[in-house]
Structure 1
Amino acid sequence: MRLSRSAKTVLGVITGLVLFFIYAPLLLVVVNSFNADRTFGWPPSGFTLEWWGRAFDSTGVREALATSLWVAVVSTVLSLVLGTLLSMALQRYRFFGREVVNLLVILPIALPGIVTGIALNNMFTTILGVPLSLWTVIVAHATFCMVTVFNNAIARLRRMSPGLEEASADLGAGVFTTFRLVTFPQLRSALLAGGLLAFALSFDEIIVTTFTIGAGETTLPIWILQNLFRPNQAPVVNVVAVVLILVSILPIWLAQRLSADSVGVGAASGRAAAKAAKKG
């Protein structure tokens, strides 16, 4: 479809306005993290690195950052394991209730966060009698983070030829050898992309975390919420928000680049199948 010059101009203006509406507030947060005016007057009266120094010297910020990183890393590892196993089971095998299981796996990421948080809080405290802690947060994050891994892995599996795995098995390679040398190399970039997205989702999650975290524990998003309206902490909050933006953007950008990779099923995969057969 070919568009006229006027149509292209209108679409370009609309796109520019939408992007400006989305990213101008983020740019304002970045500018205010260097704003010398504590009340964030505009235009800035000057620029300073004082707030960045205070943020790095803050014990509360460092502890919250370490907690967020720990939760994100562990929940990402759990998501990679569960998402990979689920994707292979649902793509490679046919069984009764397969479509229902597929829906139930994807559903957590579609549910409102507050619903997921309340449900998990009730399960931990009422049904299981488990005290809330960082481990309950990790389990809670894994329930929706594994969906990103699952979606990436199953999409890649659908594009892979099962013939290579069958050839590897016919030539005597075992199940684990075939997975390690044939299946996993083709899944690797999809799993890495899904893992990066899972990390980003977990790192900046606040609603589910609020309902599942124990007393005395604080993640970085919760620290921001608690200090947002404290005048003495407002400049530091902007610095922490910038760090949160950067930590969230980098995994998503890398995941987007990795997701664009195509699956190679040519000579390289054939050599992997032959290698797997020798190992078997």
Structure 2
Amino acid sequence: MRLGRTARLVLAAVTGIILVVIYVPLGVVLVNSFSTSASLTWPPPGFTLDWWVRAFESAGAREAVLTSVQVAIIATVISLVLGTLISIALQRFDFFGRDAISLLIILPIALPGIITGIALNNFFRTIMGIPLSIWTVVIAHATFCIVTVFNNVIARLRRTGTSLEEASADLGAGLWTTFRLVTFPQLRSALLAGGLLAFALSFDEIIVTTFTAGSGVTTLPIFILNNMFRPNQAPVVSVIAVVLVIVSIVPIYLAQRLSGSEQTRR
């Protein structure tokens, strides 16, 4: 498709505006994390590393990071197992209601986070009578992290087809042997990409976490929200926000590289 000069200029201008709106605020947060001002005045009166030192020495921040990492790892593992099994079932077998189940699997990622949070809060506390804890957060995160794994795995299964699996079965291999030696090697990059995306999605989730975390559970996003407006805490929050952005970018970048490398090889 060829675009005229005017259309290209308009498209470039719109793209530039969108990038500015997205990334300039992130740049401001980065600069404020080095500001000498405790109230984040702009422009910064000076620059210092004191806030970074205070952030890394904060016991509350370290505990929040550890909690977020634990929740993200467990939710990712659950998502990898369940997402893979569901993908294989929906792609390799034909049964009544398959399309409906596929829609139900994808739906949590499309629902507003506040709806999911309220629904899960009512389910845990009212229906099941389960007190809110770190495990309710893990379950809540797994409900939407499964979608990222499911989308990656089912897309790979659609591209690979069933010829190699059928050949393995014809040669006498059992179901588990075929999965271990044939299916799994074809899914490794898709699983890794889906797992990285699921980890990033869980690590910085706040809305669903707010409704499903108990009083003693503080993830890093909740820690940031609780300390954002406290005196002399704004620069420390900026430091933590910068770290959170970096931690979120790394798995997304790796997942993108893995997906791109796989498409190039093919």
Give the TM interval when normalised to the shorter protein: over 0.9
- Greater Cα shift, 41-50 or 17-26: 41-50
Structure 2 residue aligned with 1:162: 162
Q: Deviations over 1:194-226 (max 9, x none)?
A: 111100110001111111111111000000000
> SS in structure 2 opposite 1:130?
coil
Structure 2 residue aligned with 1:18: 18
Structure 1 residue aligned with 2:56: 56
Q: Are the counterparts in 2 of residues 160 and 263 from structure 1 also a CA contact under 8 Å?
A: no
Instruction: Tell me by how many angstroms 1:44 deviates.
Output: 1.8
Instruction: Report the Cα distance in structure 2 between the residues aligned to 1:264 and 1:150, rounded to whole angstroms.
Output: 22
Instruction: Report the Cα distance in structure 2 between the residues aligned to 1:3 and 1:136, rounded to whole angstroms.
Output: 51
Instruction: Tell me by how many angstroms 1:7 deviates.
Output: 2.8
The alignment of Structure 1 onto Structure 2 pairs a total of residues equal to 265
Q: Are the counterparts in 1 of residues 33 and 52 from structure 2 also a CA contact under 8 Å?
A: yes
- Residue 253, structure 1, aligned to residue 236, structure 2: no
Report the identity percentage: 70
Structure 2 residue aligned with 1:228: 228
> SS in structure 2 opposite 1:250?
helix
Instruction: Report the Cα distance in structure 2 between the residues aligned to 1:187 and 1:101, rounded to whole angstroms.
Output: 22
Q: Are the counterparts in 2 of residues 197 and 255 from structure 1 also a CA contact under 8 Å?
A: yes
Segments of 5+ residues of structure 1 without an aligned counterpart are 266-280
* Paired residues for 1:168-247 under 5 Å: 168-247=168-247
Structure 2 residue aligned with 1:123: 123
* Alignment-mate amino acid for residue 35 of structure 1: S
* Alignment-mate amino acid for residue 47 of structure 1: F
Q: Are the counterparts in 2 of residues 156 and 263 from structure 1 also a CA contact under 8 Å?
A: no
Q: Are the counterparts in 2 of residues 159 and 263 from structure 1 also a CA contact under 8 Å?
A: no
RMSD: 1.3
Instruction: Tell me by how many angstroms 1:255 deviates.
Output: 1.1
* Paired residues for 1:37-116 under 5 Å: 37-116=37-116
> What TM-score, normalized by structure 2, do the two folds share?
0.97
Q: Are the counterparts in 2 of residues 186 and 264 from structure 1 also a CA contact under 8 Å?
A: no
* Paired residues for 1:115-154 under 5 Å: 115-154=115-154
Structure 2 residue aligned with 1:262: 263
Instruction: Report the Cα distance in structure 2 between the residues aligned to 1:236 and 1:171, rounded to whole angstroms.
Output: 61
Q: Structure 1 residues 263 and 74 mapped into 2: Cα distance closer, same or farther (>3 Å)? A: farther
Instruction: Report the Cα distance in structure 1 between the residues aligned to 2:181 and 2:15, rounded to whole angstroms.
Output: 45
Q: Deviations over 1:97-129 (max 9, x none)?
A: 111111111111111111111111111111111
**After TM superposition, what 4+ stretches of structure 1 lie above 6 angstroms from structure 2?**
none
Segments of 5+ residues of structure 2 without an aligned counterpart are none
* Alignment-mate amino acid for residue 120 of structure 2: L
Instruction: Tell me by how many angstroms 1:42 deviates.
Output: 2.2
Q: Deviations over 1:234-274 (max 9, x none)?
A: 11000000011011111111111112213978xxxxxxxxx
Instruction: Report the Cα distance in structure 2 between the residues aligned to 1:39 and 1:98, rounded to whole angstroms.
Output: 55
Q: Are the counterparts in 1 of residues 40 and 234 from structure 2 also a CA contact under 8 Å?
A: no
Instruction: Report the Cα distance in structure 2 between the residues aligned to 1:109 and 1:59, rounded to whole angstroms.
Output: 33
